[in-house]
Structure 1
Amino acid sequence: MTLLVCPLSQVDAAVTLHRPSHMVSLLSPSSPPESWPAPDGEHLRLAFHDIAAPRDGLVAPNAEQVADLLAFTARWDAARPLLVHCWAGVSRSTAAALIIACQRAPGRAEAEIARALRLAAPYATPNPLMVALADEMLGRSGRLIAAVAAIGRGAETFEGALFEVPLA
């Protein structure tokens, strides 16, 4: 079972190397249609800005989108990789990866999952609003929020790299 994360600039290379059966694209609502990948296989497109709280003029992640993410990834049979990407591969995609890892391992400690994410991607800074919405939906009782707070902000970077999130 392979869960991959990358920035938009590395999606083509990730698809060529790993042939994912499922892809989650997390881009801004203003992203031009040609910037959204068109992969073979299942594809979920979610459009919202990378913000931690609602702000005038911007689209915040919402409960319906997180529910769509959870429903989509629940259908992934894990026979081939799932690829998650956002613009930079730092915040929205790492939050989604953390959420998926928690969904796939309901008995695994949130702090352990968050530390594994940080080890795989030192720059990972999961979007806190996405994490808070998922914490409630997954019944994690604030533990997922606390785990992300414990790892803190990731290292400064312009853009992330392709990495794998450990699911076990």
Structure 2
Amino acid sequence: MTQAPPFGITVCGIEELDGHGALGASHVLSILDPDHPVPEAFGTFGEHEKLELRFDDIVDETPGKLAPQAAHVEQLLAFGRNLMTEPKSRAHLLVHCHAGISRSTASMALILAQAMPDLSAEGILAMVHGIREKAWPNIRLMEVGDASLGRQGTLVAATSALHRLQMERRPHIAAFMEDCGRAREISAALAL
């Protein structure tokens, strides 16, 4: 990673939230399943701006589930713009989803892409991977965000390249993602 993010970033899953209460995050992006309760750990966090988004970690429309929508991406990008108004010395984003691997890393990638428009898509995804080594960004979020940011498919392609790298390092992950209904991500990564 040759360039540093313009603000502090922490990514985690729900089980890790308890360890971040004293972090001093200025902004918290909380991504939860539609019916999941608000994590109790937030009671230990100090004053911060918070955006809570609720959608399922899926990549295609699925009956009975809520897929990420354009409105969710608009909200998280607006939240990212708000973060950029924070003094640099205080600006710190904590983003979490259930496992801290998919929805959170995609959201972080989109916020970084917006904040660093001159950094290549490959650079953005390398930064995400450097921050959260087990990152597997949700391709649907990346597709919607790529279009919103006018990145002409480059963020989607870089996401598929990261998925391929993760499959090479963790051969079991392909079967796991297919079992989760995310075969489209596997196919895109293998097509590279």
TM-score class, shorter-chain normalisation, is: 0.7 to 0.9
Partner of 2:67: 60
Q: Which residue of 1 aligns with 2:13?
A: 7
* Aligned partners of 1:25 and 1:36 also within 8 Å: no
Contact 2:21 2:42 in 1 (8 A): no
Give the conservation status (yes or no) of the 8 Å contact 2:102–2:136: yes
Task: Please say if residues 49 and 59 of structure 1, whose CA atoms lie closer than 8 Å, have aligned partners that are also in contact.
Answer: yes
1:11 Cα offset (Å): 1.6
Gaps of 5+ in 1: 158-168
Matched, 1:127 2:138: yes
Please, what TM-score do these two structures have when normalized by structure 2?
0.75
Q: Structure 2, unaligned stretches of length 5 or more?
A: 1-6, 174-192
Contact 1:19/1:80, CA 8 A, preserved across alignment: no
* 2:29 corresponds to: 24
What corresponds to 2:99 in structure 1?
88
Aligned match of 2:79: 72
Relative contact order: is structure 1 or structure 2 higher (C-alpha 8 Å, sep ≥ 6)? 1
Runs of 4+ aligned residues of structure 1 deviating over 6 Å after TM superposition are none
Q: Which of structures 1 and 2 has the bigger CA Rg?
A: 2
| Identity percentage of aligned residues | 34
Amino acid paired to 2:51 = L
Aligned residue among 146, 160, 166 for 1:149: 160
Contact kept, 8 Å, 1:102 with 1:113, in 2: the verdict is: yes
**Residues 114-164 of structure 1: CA deviation (Å, up to 9, x unaligned):** 12222333321000010001001111000000010111153468xxxxxxx
1:8 and 1:87 in contact (8 A); partners too: yes
2:147 is matched with which residue?
A: 136
* Equivalent AA in structure 1 for residue 54 of structure 2: A
User: Would you say the 8 A contact 2:28–2:94 is kept in 1?
Assistant: yes
Specify the alignment match of 2:190 in structure 1.
none
Q: Deviations over 1:10-30 (max 9, x none)?
A: 1232131x2101100001001
Deviates more, 1:96-105 or 1:37-46: 37-46
* Residue 34 of structure 1: how far off its partner (Å): 5.1
Equivalenced residues, count = 157
Q: Distance in 2 between matches of 1:43 and 1:66?
A: 15
Rounded Cα–Cα distance in structure 2 between residues aligned with 1:19 and 1:122? 22
Instruction: Answer yes or no: is 1:44 the counterpart of 2:51.
Output: yes
Letter in 2 for 1:25: S
Decide whether the 8 Å contact of 2:102 with 2:137 is kept in 1: yes
**What TM-score comes out, normalization by structure 1 length?**
0.86
